[in-house]
Amino acid sequence: MYKGKKVIVVLPAYNAALTLEKTLNEVPSDLVDEIILCDDASKDNTVEKARELGIKHIIAHESNKGYGGNQKSLYNKALALDGDIVIMLHPDYQYTPLLIPSMVNIIGEGLYPVVLGSRILGKGALKGGMPLYKYIANRILTASQNLLINYKLSEYHTGYRAFSGEVLRTINFNANNDDFVFDNEMLSQIVFAGFDIGEVTCPTKYFEEASSINLPRSIKYGLGVLRVSLQHFFAKLGILNLEMYKKLK
């Protein structure tokens, strides 16, 4: 708990058996009330490893639903458990769990209802092993998004995110894509709904066991990001009426 607010960490897992324990070892157990892991039909023993490590809430998809589909299952479960602060942490140890207290504090004190762990703030992205083409694409896409969405973030593409329960109950994340572009659709919805977003500097770590998408998937993702940004722009003008921007009842 943080000042009476229930803190939940959600783990979108795919072939995370080798890194799951290392990730959990750094999650502050005195602050986090619940951990939820959703395994998206991994080919390794992620589910068995999660049970061995004592994770109580485990969702196991029988077929792969995609990164966005994985998050939908996690956020719906977190809301069912009455989460007040929900942190998405990748169990591949690419993002450090040691930032969880800072992210919880920012939301718990009412400073921002959404916090992103930015790999771009500072100069650590390339030093931490981010491939050059991904860094350049990140900067180009982020600049385009800031212009079209009319917001200013250092990056829209981090997988380290924390949300207040109010945000998750307001935006219609279940209407979003099941692939990687889900993340950008979610941020578009958050800005569209009028919520503010804070950022904290997050160290970058790229290594063999860390999950990453290949070049063709990256190109597909980039095109999807531009689509979302244009949709947001035209929806704000009232030209488009999209289901993803309708608030939950």
CA–CA distance, 187 with 157 (Å, rounded to integer): 10
Report yes or no on 1 lying in a domain.
no
Asked whether the predicted pLDDT for residue 27 surpasses 60, the reply is: yes
Asked if residues 172 and 249 have their Cβ atoms less than 8 Å apart, the reply is no
Report yes or no on 232 lying in a domain.
yes
Report yes or no on 2 lying in a domain.
no
Average pLDDT for residues 156-185, to the nearest whole number?
96
Instruction: Identify the domain containing residue 169 by its residue range.
Output: 7-245
Asked whether the predicted pLDDT for residue 113 surpasses 90, the reply is: yes
33-58 tens-digit pLDDT: 999 999 999 999 999 999 999 999 99
Asked whether the predicted pLDDT for residue 102 surpasses 70, the reply is: yes
CB under 8 Å to 153, separation ≥6 — which residues? 116, 118, 142, 145, 146, 187, 197, 199
| DSSP state, residue 159 | S
Closest to 201 in 3D by CA, of 130, 123, 114, 109: 123
Res 58: pLDDT: 98
CA–CA distance, 229 with 148 (Å, rounded to integer): 6
Provide the domain count of the chain.
1
Q: What is the CATH number of the domain that holds 47?
A: 3.90.550.10
CA–CA distance, 231 with 237 (Å, rounded to integer): 10
127-148 tens-digit pLDDT: 878 888 888 999 999 999 999 9
Q: pTM (2 decimals)?
A: 0.93
Res 209: pLDDT: 56
